[in-house]
Amino acid sequence: MSSTLSYLSLDFDEDLLDVEFPLEPGTLIPSTNYRVVQELGRGAMGVVYEAENVEIQRRVALKVLVSGLSQYPVAVEALRAEARASAAIGS
């Protein structure tokens, strides 16, 4: 992992809750300003991608929940909590 990736923040965006994956590098995610750079990893809740907010040219880590998981408020809140924790580390 490059040193650049250690400074990424985990962004939370409601539009990412129902995105189908896998997402290919270069894909502009519908209804967002994010373009996929690469997949970083997979886990029980979803897939994490390195992405770029093309509007402000900022690299971020985006976690996309597994299909159907966005229907569970506990899962969505866990994702929000991860994003808040990541933002606190980066500030």
Beta strands in 1-91 (DSSP E): 10-11, 34-42, 46-53, 58-65
Burial label, 59 (beta-carbon count in 10 A; 0-12, 13-18, 19+): middle
- The pTM for the full model equals 0.71
> Does 1 score more than 70 pLDDT?
no
Share of the chain above pLDDT 90, in %: 22
> Does 90 score more than 70 pLDDT?
no
> Does 78 score more than 90 pLDDT?
no
Mean pLDDT, the chain, integer: 77
How many whole angstroms separate alpha carbon 47 and alpha carbon 90? 21
